[in-house]
Structure 1
Amino acid sequence: MTSEQWGPAVRLLWGPPPAGPARGPKRGLTLEGIARAGIEIADAEGLGGASMQRVAAELSVTKMALYRYVPGKAELVALMVEGAMPESAQSTGGPWRERLEEWARGLLEGLRLHPWLLEATVGVRVMGPRELEWMERALAALDGCGLTGAEAMDAVVLLAGHVRGIAEQERAAGAGPGSGAAGEGPDAQLAAVLGEVMREHGERFPALGAALASAAAHGGRDQALEFGLGRILDGLELLMTRRADGD
């Protein structure tokens, strides 16, 4: 979507609801209902299944009737993203690390519930109130920590990138909630796939073999989210400490 095309999405996400048809059996059609129909389709079939035609059929209206509310697929996806993003709970204060840890886990849960959000939330695009509330919450946690505005923004992008990477791995491995027993996440699945190869060729890859053996000895638990999150926050804390000390 180019800058010239952002206007319709801005109006849908931030402006007053568009007026529906004055007469007819579908006077109750709303943007929220349209978004909900698209979300249900995308949850079941992926983002590609949520076409204007498919959403119109789900709502028992014609495609042309849907266009009276939503001008195209890009705007439909923008509404779906806004509707699928979980509401960001208001911060109750507390240490910045705890607030960002909670933020990261909440974001991952949202991506687990609606995996197609990974595809829908890339590139330069118009963001709705809920999505910006997530960014606001993370930046508020870093307020007063000694980072510049640009550094705080970069820190949030880094955290979001880590969360997205974990969600992408889970999506590819089919390891989201309800997909299997504990220990069947991406790391465990990778170990199972590599098991036969390592039995035959393990001497060529001693470091990999040792890492896999160590993971198995500790139950094969997937801790990539917590490990990466901890290291990112450690780095931020070190920067803050050095800055506070005048280094």
Structure 2
Amino acid sequence: MAQSPEGVRYSQGTKDIGTARNFSWEYPVPRNKFWDDLPYTVARNFLSLFSQDEQPSIFGNAKSSALDKTEKLQLLLKLLNERLASRDAAAAPQSLYDIDHQAWEKTWLAIAGIQHELQDPAEEQTLRMLIERRKDPSNLSHYHSLSGFLSDKGRYAEAERFEAPVRDWLDSKLGKESPQSLSARRILVQAIWMQGRQDEGERLMVEVDEIIQKTPDDSPYAVYRDEQRALSQVLWAKLKGEGAVET
């Protein structure tokens, strides 16, 4: 199997993802003792905020590498909060939100990802703030994150209500074969199934499987097929082992 450039990993680990490296959600995460036991998305969201010259040097030293996962997450959260505070101070009398909304948004998204890993209930508040304060009302990406959170918490009716338009939006932006659109469908499958509509949920799961199966080898999304199949299998096994719940 071909490998990614030496010393880094992408969303598919060390697998060669070819031109998919150019997707906005891909980022070369260093392979070292600090980052290797943290989720790719946490590392990507944090590191992509900094230029190579700006990235904190502490991640290469023995002390930080010896931290356990929770301690590493807490360290990253501390650094992000400090970065927000310093950039807000530098922007005074305005704020980072006013002068560089994209940086503000990406920083809070990184914070939400760490809150998720720490099982911090503040994650929901962070995601709702990102929705409420977005400058482009047509951007539904944070609804996608919120729907995943709600589904994980068993709030299936809310998750379905938010995710249904997200699926259509992602289809139009990225295509049905994209990992994001397939993720949206799986959120809907779980939300629908767990509300007692198993036939509808099963039909949607069949649609997911068909989309993955029909993704052509020359599609830039082909590199994600194995992962998408595995995610669907895990969800299907989970749903078959659970009944519907009241929401």
TM bracket, shorter-chain basis: under 0.3
TM-score using structure 2 length:
0.25
If asked which structure has higher relative contact order (CA below 8 Å, sep 6+), I would say: 1
Question: Of the two, which has the highest radius of gyration?
Answer: 1
